[in-house]
Amino acid sequence: MESTGTLVTRVFTSRAQIPIPGATVAVTQKGADGRHVLLAVRVSDESGLTAPVTIPTPAPGEGLSPGGPVPYALCDLWVESPGFELLRAEDVQIFPNTETFQALALIPLPEQSPLQSRAEVVQNSPQDL
């Protein structure tokens, strides 16, 4: 039986964690064919937070035996805002009946080249269960 978890993101810049309002966050999952399927698009508010996204997950009892399936769903996040590098966070883990909070730090583009397209990829490691 399938369950759900929720995902909330916070988009910010610098070590001071200055919120970035108006950032676009696309939530995707890899389909069986390896292509990305769009689950939701959210825009960050004045605090840099997005509205929750509900994501299907395995049932809470699944993934309890060694070598079996993992007890979480994976999703990828694509984050963009004018004046910042594109950020892609891969393999964000969503657990059943749990709210996942993902912090997303964007890097400002150099002022001399505002049209330059750059991207940062953050790879999340699997849980050591």
Could you give the domains of the chain? Answer: 3-121 (2.60.40.1120)
Q: pLDDT at residue 45 above 60?
A: yes
Strand 36-43: give its sheet, edge to edge: 36-43, 24-30, 73-80, 86-94, 119-123
pLDDT mean over 39-44? 98
Both structure tokens of 120: 């940062």
The mean per-residue pLDDT over the stretch 39-56 comes to 97
Q: CB of 78 within 8 A of CB of 41? A: no
pLDDT at position 78 over 90: yes
Q: What percent of the chain has pLDDT over 90?
A: 67
pLDDT band at 111 (very low <50, low <70, confident <90, very high): confident
Contact 29, 13 (CB under 8 A): no
Task: Considering only residues 86 and 113, tell me which one the structure prediction assigns the higher pLDDT.
Answer: 86
Cβ proximity of 27 and 39 under 8 Å: yes
- Cα separation, 14 vs 30, in Å, equals 30
Query: Does the pLDDT of residue 23 top 60, yes or no?
Result: yes
Q: What is the pLDDT of residue 1?
A: 57
